[in-house]
Every structure is written in C-alpha cells, then in structure tokens.
Amino acid sequence: MPIDPNVGLGARRGRGVASLGISERIRRLCHALPRGPSIDIRASMSHEWQEPEHLANNRQEKPMLSHAMRERLADPAYLDLHLVASSILRDIQKVPWYDAHFLRRFAAARQYLQIVKPEALERFSAGFAKLQPPRDFSPIKLERLFSDEVHQRIRDTAASIPRDDLKDYETSDFGRLIYHDQPYFLELQRELVPLVSKLVGQKVETGYNFLSLYGGSGKCDPHMDEPVSMYTLDFCIDQGVNWPIYFSQIVDWPNVENLADWHPRQLLQDPKITFSSFELHPGEALIFAGSSQWHYRDSIPAGGYSNLLFFHYYPDGTHDLVNFEHWPRHFEIPELAPLCDLIAESSSDMAK
C-alpha cells in the first residue's frame, strides 16, 4: 500500500521521535540518520494509519505490518527502539553472496547495541564464539558413508520426488533444482549425528537438509553458509563428471560493514586466503565448516550433472544463536526485541 510521501516522521499521524522523551543518545541518532523512503517511515506510520475501507476490501497483497507489530508500535518506548532498528536495517551493507543473511543480521545487531545498549555489546559478540570451529579444522572425506542398499534407496528416493515438487528458484544462481527436508533424508541426517559429532570433535544437532540436483549450468560462486549449517555433510549420490569443490582455511566472519564494492570472487586473488580442492565421487561424502570456510565450485564441465545431498548441523545447544528470533531471550537483552521483530517482519528487506 503506497504511503503518502509527504507524511513524515513527526507529522500528525506519525510519532515524532523528539516528542517522546527518549534518551538523548537515541534521539540524536534518529535525527542524524539520513532519511528516505524506507521501512522506518512505513512502520512508524502504520500503527495509527487507517486503511480506507474501499482499498481494504480490494487489496490482495499482504499487509505491510502484522497486527502484532502495529500493537507493539503503540508503545512509545518500543517505537523509539524500532526507529533505530529500522534505520540500521535500511542502511546496512547488503552482502553479495548466497546465505549471507546471518552475518548481516549479526552486524545489524552489533550496530544497534552500540547505540541502545553499548554495555551489552561485548557480551553479545562473545556469545557467538560457540559457532566458530577450531582454527585447524579442515574438510573430512568419507569414502563409503552408506551401504550399497542405503545408497540405492537414496537414489530411488531422490528419483521419486515429482518434478513439480522440486524448487527451481536457484536455477539462475546455481543451475540446480532443490528439495528440502525429505522425510527419509531427515531420518538419515539424524542417524548421522553421532558420527558427525565424533568427526568434528563436538556434539552437534541437526539443521535442515536438502537435495541438490545440478544440471549442465551448475555453478557455485564463493560464499559462506549461515551458522545453522555450520557443518555440512555433502554426499555425492551420482554425477556425470568430476566437479571439484574448493575450500578456504577457517577464517573469521567478515564484517559486512567493510564489504562495500567487494565481491567474493576477489577472494581468489587474496594471498591470505588459501583454497584447497576436493573431489567427490558417487558414494563419497565431505564434511566441511561452511560458515567459516569460503567455498565454491567453478562452472560444471560441459554435459555434466551432479546429484548431491546436503545435511547441515550446528553445535549442540546453539539453537538460540543460529536463530535471531531467540537472541533477546538468550542474551537477556530485551532491548534487542524491536530489532529482531523488525527483521522477522521485513525479512525480504534483508534479502540479498
């Protein structure tokens, strides 16, 4: 629903931040940040904005803000923090690689805490150390992960998924069709928890899994995964051609604020980053630390295909860390809630 661009912060229907008696620190920030058409204006208006009945009756699209968010925004203290959150989310650097949402949200949270609760920033940042693998971790090759019977059942299960059920939204970026969390694959993923825990040296729990069917336009640009897939077990079901995958050493998470005008392809010329090549053959698997190792594949050789199964794992007990919705409770920082609520509400604004 379009918003009248002439209705700005502090206007009749809005809540002028200067009028709320908020802390000087937040007030200064809200006035200092450049403004433009953005989610903060939409959000700050919407809790008092009444949609004309004739438009409401005809409108098909999803409402801009949930009813719950509108109710929260009626609280002036919540609104103050919401405005800080919306400014940060609007301006924070977009991250030019697949699966980068976590790092962007993590950076947003640190920026936000620096403003609204700086004394909690160090504790918050340090709390994510559990999502860092050992510095000397390197990919682990498994030459025969499953029996021939199980391998065949995996093939049959993959082949039984109707073509129309395969998702094609990664066709342009990856040249692959995907399918998430098939029940038999979930069962296998759970069965492998003890083995993966032993091999990576810490107890893990399951994230999501997906079947990845790369075709002749398969490729995978350099990227880092989200910590919900801190450890990935990549099983090769079948392939038509050898197709190496490259992994960097374990690296620190990049700070997205330093990545303006940067593309992960530049990593290939960075002397500080060393990539190692691995090949998978049908029946073999690799375990890697995808949220702390850059990884990529070049374009698949002509005529190639590769059917892979990805099982994702993260350290046991870190469910709250890998899911931003839980950060306020986990860290006992209720001031984080307006930021996390807004991320959840406007997740499309955080997309690459």
Largest CA distance in the chain: 70
Mask: binding to Fe ion, 171-210, rule CB under 5 A, as x and -?
A: ----------------------------------------
The least CB distance from residue 223 to Fe ion, in Å, is: 6
Q: Which is nearer to Fe ion, 264 or 290 (CB)?
A: 290
Q: What are the φ/ψ torsions at residue 292 (nearest 5 degrees)?
A: -135, 5
The least CB distance from residue 229 to Fe ion, in Å, is: 7
Q: Does 234 bind Fe ion (CB under 5 A)?
A: no
Q: Which is nearer to Fe ion, 227 or 290 (CB)?
A: 290
Q: Which is nearer to Fe ion, 64 or 178 (CB)?
A: 178
The least CB distance from residue 291 to Fe ion, in Å, is: 9
Task: Please give the Cα distance from 284 to 44 (Å, whole number).
Answer: 53
Do residues 247 and 293 touch, judged by C-beta distance below 8 A?
yes
Q: What angle do CA 321, 221, 167 make, to 5 degrees?
A: 75
Return the H-helix or E-strand segment holding 213: strand 204-214
Q: Which is nearer to Fe ion, 44 or 212 (CB)?
A: 212
Positive/negative CA dihedral, 273, 276, 282, 286: negative
Q: Which is nearer to Fe ion, 80 or 225 (CB)?
A: 225
Piece of 39-47, 161-169, 222-230, 260-268 that binds Fe ion (CB under 5 A): 222-230
Subset of 287-346 contacting Fe ion (CB under 5 A): 290
Return the H-helix or E-strand segment holding 295: strand 295-297
The least CB distance from residue 24 to Fe ion, in Å, is: 44
Closest CA to 289 of 352, 213, 234: 234
Which residue's CB atom is positioned nearest to Fe ion? 225
The least CB distance from residue 296 to Fe ion, in Å, is: 9
Q: Which is nearer to Fe ion, 207 or 290 (CB)?
A: 290
Closest CA to 123 of 133, 108, 113: 113
Task: Please give the Cα distance from 246 to 95 (Å, whole number).
Answer: 21
Distance of CA 113 to the CA centre of its chain: 20
Residue from 225, 226, 335, 345 that binds Fe ion (CB under 5 A)? 225
Report how far apart, in Å, the C-alpha atoms of 64 and of each of 8, 41, 52, 55, 324 are.
Answer: 17, 11, 15, 14, 21
Piece of 54-62, 127-135, 181-189, 220-228 that binds Fe ion (CB under 5 A): 220-228
Total number of residues binding Fe ion (CB under 5 A)? 2
The least CB distance from residue 288 to Fe ion, in Å, is: 9
Do residues 141 and 284 touch, judged by C-beta distance below 8 A?
yes
Subset of 272-291 contacting Fe ion (CB under 5 A): 290
Q: Which is nearer to Fe ion, 225 or 345 (CB)?
A: 225
- Give residues with Cβ within 8 angstroms of 173, minimum separation 6: 98, 221
Report how far apart, in Å, the C-alpha atoms of 197 and of each of 190, 200, 207, 211, 243 are.
Answer: 11, 5, 13, 22, 27
The least CB distance from residue 207 to Fe ion, in Å, is: 12
The least CB distance from residue 290 to Fe ion, in Å, is: 5
Q: Which is nearer to Fe ion, 105 or 176 (CB)?
A: 176
CA atoms within 13 A on the CB side of 274: 4
Do residues 341 and 132 touch, judged by C-beta distance below 8 A?
no
Q: Which is nearer to Fe ion, 286 or 339 (CB)?
A: 286
The least CB distance from residue 304 to Fe ion, in Å, is: 19
**Contact set with Fe ion (CB under 5 A):** 225, 290
